[in-house]
Every structure is written in C-alpha cells, then in structure tokens.
Structure 1
Amino acid sequence: MASPVELVERSLADATRDEFDRRVTEQAANLTTAVRNGRLANPGFALGLECELYAVADDTRLARLPGEVFDGPCERELGLHNAELHTAPSPFAVEGIENQVTQLRRQYQRAQRAANRHDVELVLDGMWTVPPPEGTVSYLSEVDEHGDVTVAENMTVSPRYYAIDNDVLDRAEGTLSLTVPGTVRDFPSILFESLTSSIQPHVQVPDPELFPRYHNTAIRTLGPVLALATNSPLLPPDLYDVDDPYELLETTFHELRIPVFEQSVNAGWAKVRFPDDIRTTTDVVDNLVADPTCAPFLREWIAGEDSETFDDQFWELGHKRGTFWRWLRGVIGGQPVGEGDQWSIRIEYRPLPTQPTITGVVGFQCLVAGLLRGLVSADHPLPELDHGAAERSFYSAVESGLDADLEWITADGVRTTNAEEIYEEIFDFARSGLREQGVPTELVETYLRPIELRWDRRTTPSRWKLARVREQLDRTDSLEVAIREMQTEYVRRAGTTAAFAYWGQ
C-alpha cells in the first residue's frame, strides 16, 4: 500500500475528487432506491455509543498513549493522546442497556490497565487542560513538510487524518485560528481539535418512515440536553493571555468543545454546524451528497477484496459521511441488531462532551434514547418549534450552560422559555420513553436521577470546574496553578463509580 503522504497527494488531486464524487452520486442513487423499497425497516430500536478519552501522566500532564492500549477494542483518535471506545449495538430494552454498561466498563478497564502498565492514565473528560512538558502551543503546532503535504507530529499516523488536515489547510491558506474568550491563537494544523473529547449516543429507529420525526425532534432537544452535560469550560492555561483570570471565569463558554471543533475545520466553508431539518428519510442521503467533499479516498487504495457487505457496496459514500460534521446526523447502514441485516438507520447525537464517569456516560445515553422515544411516541408538538429557536438554544447552552436561554414547545403546544417547565418535560418524557421500552423503574432511576440532580442542584461538570478554579485562585493568584489543582482533583474523581451529581459543589 502507498505511504500516508502518497495517499494524501492522491486525495488532493482534482481527478480523485471527480471520480470520488461520481461514485458517491452513483452509490447514493442506489441507496435512495433501497430506502424507498423499505430496506431500512428493523424489528426494534437499538442503542450504541462512542466514548472518547485522553491520556495523562502521573502529574496529570497530557501524555501520548502507548501502542499496547490499542491491542484491544480501544481505537486511535486524532491526537497521539486520544483514544475511543465504542460499544456494539444492542436492543433498546433492559438487557440492552445492561449490555451497553457492561461493554463500556470492560473496555474502559481493559484500556486503563494497559495504559497503567506504562505509567499513563486514561481520563473521562471533555477537554484536557494540563499541557505536556513542551507546552500546548508547541505540542499542537509542531509540523513537518513533505513536499506539499503537511504532517502534524503529534497527530495519529493516518492517511485519512492527514488528508483532512491538508484539505482544510488548503482552504484556510495554511493557518487555522481559534478565537474564544481569553485567547486568539493561530495553528498550522487541525490538531487543536484534539483538545476535546466527546460521547455520541446512537439510537436506531426501526420504522424509516418515522425517521424525520425523530430527527427533527432530536434537533430541538440539543440545547437543553447539552446544558446538562457541559464539561469543557477551560483551555490549557498557556493558551490564555488575560490580565484578570476572574473575568475569564465569568466570560468563558461552558462548552468550549463546540467552538474548538467548529473553528478547527470551518475556515472557508461551514462543514461543522447545527443540523438542518429533513422532510423525508431520503434527505439523509441527499444532504450527504450535497455536502462539500473533503479528503476524498477511493476504495481500492486501502480496502481489501470486494464483498457484498453494506460498507463495501457504499464505500465512498461511507467515507464521505466521515466528514459530514453536524451536531446531529442520520446514518444509514452498518449496525446489525438482533434480526437486522446491516440495513438500518440511526441518529447520532454528537454535541455531548465526555462525562466524568461511566454512570454519567450511560446516563446520557439513556436520557437521549428515552427522551426521543417518549416525545415521538406521545406525538409531542416539539417539532413545531422553529428551527432558528432550536439553534439559538443550542449555542446559548454552549456559552452559558444551565443559564442558557432555552426555547421549547410544551406538550400542550405552548411556547415557553421557562427552564423549570422545559426540564420537567424532558425528564418526564425520558422516563416514559424508557418505560415504553420495558425498562424497569429501578434501572430508569439509576441512570436518569443523577442527571436530573444536576438540574435540581444547578450543577454540571463545567460549573464544578469553574468553582474549583475560583477557589484555587483565591489561594494562589495563579491561573496555571489553579487549573492544574482543579484538574488533579478531577482526574482523581473521574472514572470512579460515584455519579458526578454526588461530588458536591
């Protein structure tokens, strides 16, 4: 096989883009026909999950992961410090939820043991804040030039990542900028996106005719659900240039992961953004085709022998989906569940940062799945909320967390901005959706009650972090020391069995 640099050079060629787009169009037409012929129908709902982590050394500084970590189910992500766990899908029922928990916990423990053998620890967190010894800017900015191809030194060796990086850099004329409260920085690579870690609950919908209803309902839940999950309020302190750290704590966003990811890619095009509504299930395919092509590859460059699997029949279309970055998206194919045959359609719920504990990660998986099931089953009028209001709610949650200006349509069809009313409905319908899937009350409360307590007690991981840094600043007057002390305590608590809501203020 060609070297990673050679594959990037092929990817950037005009002829490759033309052939790739031709194949995408052809495969999309075939998939659209399959959708219209009812191939996506499945016997029931199903759940899946992706969970990203990062590595630290004993002093909580960012660390590169040893290769042994990836000998098991753990997969590499963008940076050398990043890893991803993902569960195999299971039916949306009591046994399926227990299976998700078991899979995730076993994978996490196995990867953690491998990391620990090299004096490294994996952290469940939304953003790292204690830089490696060389400093954040150096770590994220060190690049080598191989002719016309830029290679970030601390990026995972991957032709796909390299190609995305170079495609984005070409559009940005070689420089990408990050602008958030307290910092304005330029970078020579998309690698600064690796500051962040996320979880992505997946919900397979059995009736493809109902998928637009689920999709458009889910869009309108993004703001209030994200507000409960915020966990990335601070960057590494060596990225800041501020005179008053207390002012930074007041003005920073509660979920920096969103602008970091958007700004790492969006120079010259709006690739990462809030999702659009869809009218029909085939819009999932049409929107993917219409999205600007980024880093095209051809199947024969890297794939094995031809086969009749879904992934092989729609290889280029699937590759393009990997750069269809929306904070919620529909995905067709590739998740056989029960009696399914890999022809399925699911929602990927993408804005949530990684949570401090396994309980919290699965709690949000249950919240999302139960909420969507409950709202659609009750024919809730939430899809009548105008799209612009849903988008405003989302970005307000990004900036303000639980203080966000949220908008909602109640079950009675009344528009409201009252957060008490909104969260009362969110948890009521999440519970009803889980019960409708046969999940017993005890298990429902195991996973939903700790999330609900975040609202009752007005606490989230981002609020906890900011409060700890503020307390440390009162003692030290050093933002760097305050963030490091906060992060040390966070790492000590993260990954334990205690739900975040019981950490205390």
Structure 2
Amino acid sequence: MGQDVDRRTFSRRDRQQYRAKVQRCLDVLALMLRDHPFARDEPMTGIEVELNLVDHELEPSLAGADVLHAIGGTEFQSELGRWNLELNLPPRPLPGDQWRHLEHQLLDELAVARSKAVDCGSQLAVIGILPTLRRSHLVAEALSPDQRYEMLNEQMLNARGEPIRLDIAGDDPSGRHEVAPEHLTADFDSIAPEAACTSMQLHLQVHPDSFAGYWNAAQSIAGVQLAVGANSPFLLGSRLWAETRIPLFEQSCDVRTPELRNQGVRPRVWFGERWITSILDLFAENGRYFPALMPVTEQTDPMAELEAGNVPGLDELRLHNGTIWRWNRPVYDVADGVPHVRVENRVLPAGPTVIDMVANALFFYGLIRTLVEADRPLWSSMSFEAAEENFTTAARHGMEGPLYWPGSGWIRPDELVLRKLLPQAADGLARWGVAAEVVDRFLSVIEQRCVTRRTGAAWQLDTVAALERNGSDRTAALHGMLARYLENSVANEPVHTWPVPA
C-alpha cells in the first residue's frame, strides 16, 4: 500500500461513499477492459526488495529515516518498521542480458545502502525475517512515523478490536535435526509484527487479455517458489516453518476475531479460492468480500474522466486493492497516460544474496511463460485446493514436503524442479528472448540449490544447530548465524555454496 493518505478519522457516511466509489471504479474498469486500449509494448518487469537494518550487536536498528536521508535517492523508501527500508528498481524488459544488468544495479544500490547504513551506525541485512528480533522490538514505537503507517495501524487494530495474536506451531523444516517442535504464541498491541516480514516482490506487466492465465500460472507454482526459495525459519527465538514469513504475515494482518474466522470470513492476506477468467474477478472479489480499512474518497468521477477521453486513475479501487494482501496481487496503474495491468508476485522472501534473488525471479518469469502457453493449462488438471495445499506445505516444510503435481502425483520439490520445471523455465526464458548465458548463469543456481538441497532456510537451520551443538544457547547461536549470514550475503556467492560450522 504505497498511496498517501491524509485522514485520521472516518465517519459512517465515509465508508458508505467509499464502497459506492469502489464499485464505480470497478464499473469503469469493466468498460475500459472492453473498449479502451491498454499497453501492448514489450512486457516490463519490476522488482522490490524489503530490507532490515541492524546495529553493531546485530539487534534491530531504528535508524531507517537517517539512512534514507543519507542515501538521498528515490530508489529507497521507508517501510512499516523503523528498522526497514524498501528498494524499488525501475521497470525493465526481460530480453537479452537485461537481468544481468539488473543484478549489477541491485549490487550497486545495496552497496550504497550498506555504506550509508555504516555511516549511521547500522548494517544492512537482506533476509526474510531478522532472526535477532525479540518481542520487545515489536512495539508501536518501532513503527515508521509516516502517517499512512500510523493510520494503517490504527484502522487494523480498530477493525480487529483486540490484540494481534501470533500462534505458530513449528516442526523441523529441514528434517535433519532430532529436536522437539517449537511453538510460538504471543499477543501484540500494534501491527509491528508485520514489519518483521521482509519480502521480494516481482512485477510482470501483461495485457489484460492474458492476465488470467499469468495469474493462474503464478498461483499454481507458488508452492514450488517457496520450497526452493525459503529463507525465514526463525522468529522471536523459535525455530518454526521453513518460510515462517507466510504464517507471520497472515496472522499479523488478520483483522478477524476468532469468531469471524470460524464463520468463514475471508482473511486480508489471502491465497484466493478459485482460478479466474479475468482480472475483473479479483477486483470484484475485493469489493464484495472486504470492508474498507481506509475509506478515503477522491472528488474525481472516474466515469466522467473516461467519457472526457482521459485515463482514470481509479484511486479508490487501487487504494482498496493495496489493503488486501494477496500472494499474487492484481495491479492497475497508469504510466505516461497509458493504462496497464500487472501481476505482483509477493511469495518470496528477501535474500540470501543478489544472485539468489535474481535466480528466483528468472525461474518465476520463465516458468509462468511456459505454463501460460502450454496446449493444456496446468490449472485445468490441478484443483485450486491442491495449489493452496502445496503453498502451505512448502512454507512449512521447504524442500522436505512433497507437493502434488499433475502427471507426477506427490513428488519432492527438488526432484520436481530438476526433472520437469527447470527445463520449462529455460524454455520460457528463451521465449522471452533472454540471452542463453543469462539463463545458464541464474537457472544453474536453482539447479544446484536443488542438488544440494540447501536453501537459505536450510543453511540457517544447519548453522544454528551446529552452533548449539558446540555449546551456544539459542540467542548466541542466532547472533552467530546472522554474523556469518551477513558476511556471506555481501560476497554474493549463492547460498548453496555457503559453509556450515563443523
């Protein structure tokens, strides 16, 4: 949710007017999809990476505003927590060696941020969940002072009517440690736990006619993405899921009381419930199922704008969409006076390295291209429920949890990727026009990650286990692991090559 807001209180009539305006925006979008030209140029991609700041003791550093001021550029923005930053790289096409250049740009931008962070007494950590977070860090005072975050915190707590409850039961995601499962329960009086989730978001601009296929494809591979990209096994000192960021984000943004959950009210962090035939399906669900969190209504009439020959911004529809956190989110936007739509893939954690993140991105872009253009769409032979179960299984178990795949039945994720999906991803990238040497460089990272069965989560688990065997308690082991993680991350060697202490 990046739109600015300038209101703190809302009346009952505000909410009524906002609902009507969202519906009017939806009606206008339906007309535009039928009659208005959308961007048909070369599809553009984008990447956003959320980051953490730590101090010399590897504890969260609340110096985000100071680091942003020191950087001074527009690529970095504030995020929910005062120990967070967000990096947004300009959109770029896929063909040729564009994403090799993106790797260099991402390395350069992070090097600048690291340097400025050091000047402010901090270090940069690119990781799914900062493992040294403690409950005392997740308080309202640690939220960024931006008004939109203050309002989001206030409105979400008001909607829930009681503290935010985390209740995450773990197991051994790696399957290699003979230790008892751990269980985290905690209550919070702010949405600060949401700031513990640091993600990488991938954007793909597509024409509205093909949006449904790309969204369905993204949903169908979400479990595979998590299995090979997990990087968040620890939260508040507990060893939980391979990608604990998934239940953490779902629970920290849940404005439902237990009674509403029992009634089947849909959560605002949502996988969805069916395959779609149009982007309108998703925006219509937003208006049908979710009450407004921030009902800010603009004076402009989108229908009048459209009738006057202008491209409407659909402000209320976009603001509402920004408060519903689908793992694959639809995006409507306008650039240079031309409307376009995008799939925003929100599945992956940040880190461990730039080369790992670019590899994750290109695996996603290549695979969905092949799936969309297949003679028989994957989702015609896979139930939506199976795709969601794959997503949860992969988040919980990483590479250890078997996934369901049409034609293969239940299969381990690394085997599925090596046998079937890597060749499909390579074919898809070739169809996008990506240079062969770029495909080889980054898909080989995914290949070796599967061969070694070492994701960021597996490395973190193995390292902490080794340090604990050598006499460290959990707190010391997490700090020791994070120190090694930061050193390896800067070196930009893929995580499957990282050493584990003896």
Q: What TM-score do the two structures reach when normalised by structure 2?
A: 0.86
- Residues 1:386 and 2:383 aligned together: yes
Which range moves more in the overlay, 340-349 or 14-23?
340-349
Counterpart position of 1:147: none
Q: Deviations over 1:339-392 (max 9, x none)?
A: x75411211111111011111111111111111112222335311200111111
User: Is the CA contact (8 Å cut-off) linking 1:175 and 1:189 kept in structure 2?
Assistant: yes
User: Is 1:204 aligned to residue 230 of structure 2?
Assistant: no
Which residue in the other structure is 2:365 paired with?
A: 369
- The one-letter code sitting in structure 2 at the alignment partner of 1:417 is I
In structure 2, distance between residues paired with 1:466 and 1:261: 21
State the partner residue of 1:349. Answer: 345
- Is 1:474 aligned to residue 466 of structure 2? no
Q: How does 1:22-421 map to 2 (within 5 A)?
A: 22-70=20-68, 71-72=72-73, 73-131=75-133, 136-141=134-139, 152-181=140-169, 182-206=183-207, 208-237=208-237, 240=238, 249=239, 252-268=240-256, 270-276=267-273, 277-298=275-296, 313-334=313-334, 336=335, 341-383=337-379, 384-410=381-407, 415-417=409-411, 419=413, 420-421=415-416
Is the CA contact 1:20–1:296 (under 8 Å) kept in the aligned structure 2?
A: no
Residue pair 1:176, 1:188 contacting (<8 A) in 2 also: yes
Question: Would the alpha carbon gap of residues 365 and 311 (structure 1) be closer, same or farther in structure 2, given more than 3 Å must change?
Answer: farther
- Give structure 1 stretches of 5+ with no counterpart: 142-151, 241-248, 302-306
The answer to whether the Cα contact below 8 Å between 1:288 and 1:321 also exists between their aligned partners in 2 is yes
Change (3 A) 1:434 1:466: same
* Percent identical residues: 27
Give the Å deviation of 1:175: 0.7
Q: By how many angstroms is 1:27 displaced? A: 1.5
CA distance in 2, matches of 1:106, 1:388: 41
CA deviation after TM superposition for structure 1 residue 97, in Å? 1.9
**Contact 1:255–1:462 (CA under 8 A) maintained in structure 2:** yes
CA distance in structure 2 between the partners assigned to 1:110 and 1:452 by the alignment: 30
Match of 1:464 among 435, 459, 471: 459
Q: Is the 8 A contact 1:222 1:394 kept in 2?
A: yes
Count of equivalent residues:
462
1:18 aligns to what?
A: 16
Residues 169 and 189 in structure 1, CA contact (< 8 A), matched pair in contact too: yes
Give the superposition deviation at 1:192: 0.8
CA gap of 1:468–1:416, structure 2 versus 1, over 3 A, is closer
**Residue 424 of structure 2 corresponds to residue 436 of structure 1:** no
Q: Is the 8 A contact 1:86 1:104 kept in 2?
A: no
CA shift digits 1:308-362 (9 cap, x unpaired)? 999963112111111121111221224x4xxx75411211111111011111111
User: Would you say 1:498 and 2:498 are equivalent positions?
Assistant: no
Question: Quick one: distance in 2 between partners of 1:196 and 1:429?
Answer: 30
Preserved CA contact (<8 Å) 1:52 1:124: yes
The 8 Å contact of residues 24 and 289 in structure 1, kept in 2 or not, is answered as: yes
Does the aligned pair in 1 maintain the 2:164–2:189 contact within 8 Å? yes
Unaligned runs of 5+ in 2: 170-182, 257-264, 300-304
What displacement does 1:41 show? Answer: 4.4
Alpha-carbon distance change, 172 to 66 in structure 1, aligned in 2, over 3 angstroms: closer
How far the C-alpha of 1:104 sits from its partner, in A, is 2.5
Report if the CA contact (8 A) 2:82-2:142 is conserved. yes
Please give the per-residue CA displacement for 1:16-75, whole angstroms capped at 9, x wherever unaligned: 212222221111211121111253341222211110000011221110124343221210
Shift of the 40–5 alpha-carbon distance from structure 1 to 2, 3 Å rule, reads: closer
What is the alpha-carbon distance in structure 2 between the residues aligned to residue 421 and residue 6 of structure 1? 49
Instruction: Show CA shifts across 1:279-315 (max 9, x none).
Output: 22322331232241342242559xxxxx999996311
Match of 1:350, SS state, is strand
1:393 Cα deviation after fit: 0.6
Distance in 1 (CA, whole Å) between partners of 2:209 and 2:6 is 43
SS of 1:346's equivalent in the other structure is: strand
CA drift of 1:274 comes to: 1.0
Provide the rounded CA distance (Å) in 1 between the counterparts of 2:311 and 2:236: 39
Q: Write the distance in 2 (CA, Å) between the matches of 1:114 and 1:292.
A: 41
Distance 1:351 1:487 in 2: 23
Q: Matched residues in 2 for 1:8 and 1:18: separation?
A: 17
Q: Secondary structure at the match of 1:165?
A: helix
Q: CA deviation at 1:497?
A: 2.2
Change (3 A) 1:405 1:267: farther
CA distance in 1, matches of 2:209, 2:79: 34
| C-alpha displacement of 1:102 | 3.9
Aligned to 2:130, the other structure's residue is in SS state coil
Give how far 1:418 is off. 5.2
CA distance change for structure 1 residues 92 and 477 in 2, over 3 Å: closer, same or farther?
closer
SS at 2:490 equivalent: coil
Amino acid at match of 2:127: D
Q: Give the Cα separation in 1 of the matches to 2:295 and 2:109.
A: 30
Could you say which residue in structure 2 is the equivalent of 1:246?
Answer: none
The one-letter amino acid of 2:439's match is: V
Please report the RMSD computed on the Cα atoms of aligned residues, expressed in angstroms. Answer: 2.5
Q: Equivalent residue of 1:189, what SS?
A: coil
SS at match of 1:356: coil
CA contact (8 A) 2:164 2:252 kept: yes
* 422 and 359 in structure 1: CA distance in 2 versus 1, 3 angstrom threshold: closer
3-state SS of 1:50 partner: strand
Structure 1 residue matching 2:88: 3-state secondary structure: strand
The SS at the match of 2:365 is helix
Contact 2:417–2:450, Cα closer than 8 Å, also in 1: no
Seen in structure 2, the aligned counterparts of structure 1 residues 32 and 266 have a Cα distance that, compared at 3 Å, is same
Equivalence for 2:173: none
Q: Which moved more, 1:385-394 or 1:179-188?
A: 179-188
